[in-house]
Amino acid sequence: MRIAVYPGSFDPLHIGHQAIMEYLTRDSGFDWVYLVISPQNPFKEPEKALNAEQRYRDAIAAARRNPELHVWVDNIELSMDPPHYTIRTLDALRQREPENEFTLVVGADNLQRILQWRSSFRILTEYGIAVYPRRGYDVEAIRDGILKILPCSKIQIINAPIIDISSTRIREGIANGENMSNWMM
């Protein structure tokens, strides 16, 4: 099976994430999306966030409410020692499920920085990337720049809709007493 590996903090999971997952399974040829709850992004400073176990439970509840999405909420990173490098997660998934083909899902903002990631060459050539658009990023130009450096890279652009919401904005709204429930998955 083709599995889209979609890692993130998902604090909280929102309709922008849902739109990407819908597009992956309905329009991009993936059989399943593995939503991987990341305890801590190595490129970000720790912030006040729901703990990883709570985010994992919340994601499972959201996936159960949306069975048509074909989402498996995976806790593989929760059992791994830090740092939580993407290549370690992908390798662990491949070892656990050698019969499946895994592709990493990232936004155009992360694709722009992918060459700074640990083992980016392996990620780009062995696993491949499905990249979704982000406002303010020219995903095709970013892809073309990477292909000039690493022509054997596997980069699939998915034209998922851009929904202008972020987990940060939802957390800020909640902190300010706003009702953000319509944005949450």
Among 5, 3, 63, 57, smallest CA distance to 29 is for: 3
CB 11 within 8 A of CB 50: yes
d(CA 102, CA 132): 16
The rounded Cα 156 to chain-centroid distance in angstroms is: 14
Q: What is the dihedral of CA 20, 24, 27, 28, to 10 degrees?
A: 130
Residue 170 sits in which domain range? Answer: 2-183
* Mean pLDDT in residue range 133-147: 96
Task: State the number of CA atoms in the 13 A half-sphere of 105 facing the CB.
Answer: 27
Q: pTM for the full model?
A: 0.92
Domains identified in the chain, total number: 1
Please determine, for residue 40, whether its predicted confidence score (pLDDT) is greater than 70: no
In the three-class reduction of DSSP (H, G, I as helix; E, B as strand; rest coil), residue 110 is classed as helix
Q: Which helix (H) or strand (E) holds 17?
A: helix 15-27
Residue 29 tokens read as 């040829």
Per-residue confidence at 17, pLDDT binned at 50, 70, 90? very high
CB 123 within 8 A of CB 87: yes
d(CA 124, CA 141): 16
In one-letter notation, the amino acid at residue 185 is: M
Supply φ then ψ for residue 55, to 5 degrees: -65, -35
The rounded Cα 8 to chain-centroid distance in angstroms is: 5
Read off the CATH number of the domain in which 11 is found: 3.40.50.620
Q: What is the pLDDT of residues 41-93, one digit of tens each?
A: 555 565 555 688 999 999 999 999 989 889 999 999 999 998 889 999 999 99
* Mean pLDDT in residue range 24-51: 80
Output the average pLDDT for the chain.
93
